[in-house]
Amino acid sequence: MNKVVTYFFDEYRKQRNARLFKNLLYVFLVVKCLLWLFNFDILFGEYAVSLTYNEPIGFFKSFAYIIYLSKSSNLALWFICTTLLLSLVSLFGKRSYVLADLIIYLLVLNLDIRIYTTTTAGESLLVNLCFLSAWLRKDFNKGIGTYDQIKVLLHNTAFIALILQVCVLYGFSALAKWYDADWISGEAVYLTTKAEHYSRPFMVNIADPIHFLTVAVTYILLLYQSLFPLLVWIKKIKPYFLLIGVLMHLYIAFVLGLFFFGLIMVITYVLFFDFKTHADVKA
Amino acid sequence: MDFYAMSYCNPYFYQDWRMFAPGTRYNYSIYAVYEVNGQKHYSFPIQEVLSDRNIFSGREFLNTSLTDASIFVHNTAVNVSGELYKFNKDKYYQIFEHINIQYLQKKHDSKIKNLKLMLCATHIQTKKKTYLVNE
C-alpha cells in the first residue's frame, strides 16, 4: 500500500516522456488544424461531405455536438483557429495549462464529430489522448502544498491511463481480429493491399507475387497486437519491439492512407520509450 | 464482440459510424450521371479521388468518405436478382448520396440536378461484380 501511495504522490513520474508526448501532440494538432483549414470547404464549408441530422442528442452529449447541431461554418472556423492558437501557445510555453488543454479537448471533439464520415480510428484516439494528456505536466516544480500534491497525483494517474489506453486499443483490436475470418486465414493484409482505397497502385500490382509475404505479415501483426500489452514491458526487446510498431504505423499512415491514425499511434510510442537517466549515462 | 466495440465507440459516433475503418473484400466504383446547367455529365467519384490522392489535396478525406459510405450501402443493399441489388433508402444511403452530391458540386462549382448513382462492388479474390442501383 505504501509503495502505491509513494508511486502516485512522491514525484512526477516519466517526466521526459510526458513533456515530449505533450509537445508532439501539440505539433500533431497544429498540423491537423492546418489541414482542416486547407480543406475547409469539403469538411465544414459549402461542400461539407458529412450529412447532419436534427435528431435529439440529449443535454450531456450536446456539448460534443455544438458545431454539428449549429451547422455553422463560421463557428467551425472559430473552433479551428482557437485550437491552433492554444496548441501553439501550449507548445512553446514552458508551463502546463490544464484549462487550455481541456478546451482543446472539447474543441477537437466537436470538430471531429462534425466531419464524422472522413474520420478513422485516429480521430477517436486523438480525442481520448487530448483529455488524458490535459492532466500531464510539462513543468515539474514540486511544492509541498495540497494543490501541488494533487498535481503530482493527476500527472502520474494520467500517465498510467495513457499507457492503459494504448494497451486497451491494441487489446480490442487484436480481439476483434481473432474473431475475423480474413485474419485467421491469413488473407487480411493481402485483401487490404489489393483494395485500391487502402493501398497504392504499385502495391496493388505486386500483391499477387508477394502473397506468401502478406500471409506472414498478417500473422506477425496479429501476434504483435495480441502480445503488445505484455512484450512492451520487457526491457531487452523493447527498442526493437517499438521500432517494428513505428514502421507498421508509418506504413499505415503513408501507404494505407490512414494518415492521422498512423501518426498518432507513432506519437503514443513515446510513452513507452525508456529514456536514459543521468545515472545510466554515468554508468 | 461487435456489441462491446460499438458500446465503446458510441458516445462519439452518434450516427453509428464505425470508429475503425471497416475491413474490406471489395473494390468499389461509383458511376454518377447528372446534369449541370442543363448538360448531361458522367463521373466516377472514387476513381477520380484515388488518382493523385494525398492528405494535402483533401482527397484522403474524400476517399475515406466515399469508400466507407460505399461499404455501408453495400452491406445494407436489397437483392433484386442475381448480381443486381437495390439501394436500401436508409440513413446510410442518404449519407452516401450527400457525399457524392457535395463532391460533384465542388468539382463543377455549381449545383447539380437529376443525379443517378450506381455502385459496382468487385470482389477482390473472385473478381465477381455486384451492381447496386436505385430502381
Task: For chain A, give the secondary structure using H, E and C.
Answer: CHHHHHHHHCCCCCHHHHHHHHHHHHHHHHHHHHHHHHCHHHHCCCCCCCCCCCCCCCHHHHCCCHHHHHCCHHHHHHHHHHHHHHHHHHHHCCCCCHHHHHHHHHHHHHHHHHCHHHCCHHHHHHHHHHHHHCCCCCCCCCCCCHHHHHHHHHHHHHHHHHHHHHHHHHHHHHHHHHCCHHHHCCCHHHHHHHCHHHCCHHHHHHCCCCHHHHHHHHHHHHHHHHHHHHHCCCCCCHHHHHHHHHHHHHHHHHHHCCHHHHHHHHHHHHHCCCCCCHHHHHC
Is the confidence at residue B17, as pLDDT, over 50? Answer: no
The helix/strand/coil state of B33 is strand
Please write the tens of the pLDDT for every residue from A105-131.
Answer: 999 999 999 999 998 888 888 999 999
Most B CBs within 10 A among A197, A199, A254, A259, hence the mutation to make, goes to A197
Across the interface, whether the CB atoms of A115 and B61 are under 8 A apart is answered: yes
**B75 burial level (CB within 10 Å; 0-12, 13-18, 19+):** exposed
A84 Cβ partners below 8 Å, 6+ apart?
A29, A30, A33, A34, A37
Please write the tens of the pLDDT for every residue from A80-114.
Answer: 999 999 999 999 998 889 999 999 999 999 999 99
Residues of B (66-95) whose Cβ lies below 8 Å from A: 67-69, 91, 94-95
Query: What pLDDT is recorded for position B36?
Result: 96
Please write the tens of the pLDDT for every residue from B92-121.
Answer: 999 999 999 999 999 999 999 999 999 999
Across the interface, whether the CB atoms of A109 and B12 are under 8 A apart is answered: yes
Average of per-residue pLDDT values in chain B:
85
The helix/strand/coil state of B67 is helix
Across the interface, whether the CB atoms of A117 and B67 are under 8 A apart is answered: no
Is the confidence at residue A281, as pLDDT, over 60? Answer: no
Closest partner residue to B24 (CB to CB) among A41, A53, A191 is A191
Is the confidence at residue A219, as pLDDT, over 90? Answer: yes
State the count of interchain CB pairs (< 8 A) between A and B: 124
Is the confidence at residue A183, as pLDDT, over 50? Answer: yes
Query: What pLDDT is recorded for position A162?
Result: 96
Q: Which residues of B touch A218 (CB under 8 A)?
A: none
Please write the tens of the pLDDT for every residue from A262-280.
Answer: 999 999 999 999 887 655 5
Across the interface, whether the CB atoms of A198 and B24 are under 8 A apart is answered: yes
The residue ranking higher by pLDDT, A59 or B78, is: B78
The ipTM of this complex is: 0.88
> Taking the model in full, what pTM does it have?
0.90
User: Which of the listed ranges A48-57, A76-85, A124-133, A219-228 does the model predict with the highest average pLDDT?
Assistant: A76-85
CA A144 – CA A190 distance, rounded (Å): 58
Closest partner residue to A51 (CB to CB) among B53, B63, B95 is B95
A142 Cβ partners below 8 Å, 6+ apart?
A11, A12, A148, A152
Query: What pLDDT is recorded for position B12?
Result: 46
